[in-house]
Structure 1
Amino acid sequence: MAHAIRAVHAHTERTRERAAEQAPGERVPAERVSAASVPDLDAVVWSDDAGRPLRLIWAGRRWRVTDRPTVITAPASWWWRVDPDGTDLDLAPAECVGWRFQATGEHGETRVFDIRDTGDPRRWRVVKTYS
């Protein structure tokens, strides 16, 4: 895992170096500037009193949530003991397992993030981003 994280950081640094070599005003594709194509990176997330994300640090960049976050739910973990075949999933109580929201980075880039709970209230797993 540590090797994979070092590889991501090295890739991100090389990408930023290439971006710095671009002519001023030349647009660099977002996927070359951030680690968005690399799933499962942790983010530090700040939230309001209700638990909704407000801002985050992800891939070494600051992001501010710019829309109303949507809860991602899944059947309660204990439900599988009651319904092991999953035939009554429509009856299962749901629990919040993550959030989907739009956020804007400090340089104006906007993305939609899907984040999942890691068990640490401030650290979340970024499972997918959309440009």
Structure 2
Amino acid sequence: MIDVFVEHELTLWFEDDVPSRMFYAGRRWRVSDVPTRLRDSVWATDPRAERGFYGWRFQGTDNVGESMVFDVYPTEEGWSVFHCYA
């Protein structure tokens, strides 16, 4: 597993309040699995509750078929990638 810590511009698109695609590190990615809400506690399971919500984890697949897992979180300027795993 590779953990990437380089800052890149991120644009994230949503469908029904769930991430569906993004532009990151010069590539277009489509969300290719079911995104997981990241919360403060593993016991916070109610998807309607915003308390404790701090981001999303999902697999993204680019146009050539490479897939990576991304942890993204909202900032004052927009969205940012916290972790990226190959």
Superposition TM-score tier, normalisation by shorter sequence: 0.7 to 0.9
- Does residue 112 (structure 1) correspond to residue 79 (structure 2)? The answer is no
Q: CA RMSD in A?
A: 2.4
- Mapping of 1:25-44 within 5 angstroms? 37-44=4-11
- Does residue 59 (structure 1) correspond to residue 14 (structure 2)? The answer is no
Which residue of the partner structure matches residue 12 of structure 1? none
Identity across the alignment (%) = 37
- Mapping of 1:1-131 within 5 angstroms? 37-49=4-16, 51-74=17-40, 94-119=51-76, 123-131=78-86
Q: Which segments of structure 1 move beyond 2 Å, counting only runs of 4 or more?
A: 36-42
Q: In 2, are the aligned partners of 1:114 and 1:128 still within 8 Å (CA)?
A: yes
TM-score when normalising by structure 1: 0.52
Runs of 5+ unmatched residues, structure 2: 44-49
How far residue 41 of structure 1 moved from its aligned partner, in angstroms, is 3.3
How far residue 60 of structure 1 moved from its aligned partner, in angstroms, is 1.0
Q: In 1, are the aligned partners of 2:4 and 2:85 still within 8 Å (CA)?
A: no
Greater fraction of residues in strand: 2
TM-score when normalising by structure 2: 0.76
Q: List per-residue Cα deviations over 1:47-66 (Å, max 9, x = no partner).
A: 012x1100000011100000
Runs of 5+ unmatched residues, structure 1: 1-30, 76-89
Q: In 2, are the aligned partners of 1:40 and 1:127 still within 8 Å (CA)?
A: no
Would the alpha carbon gap of residues 128 and 63 (structure 1) be closer, same or farther in structure 2, given more than 3 Å must change? same
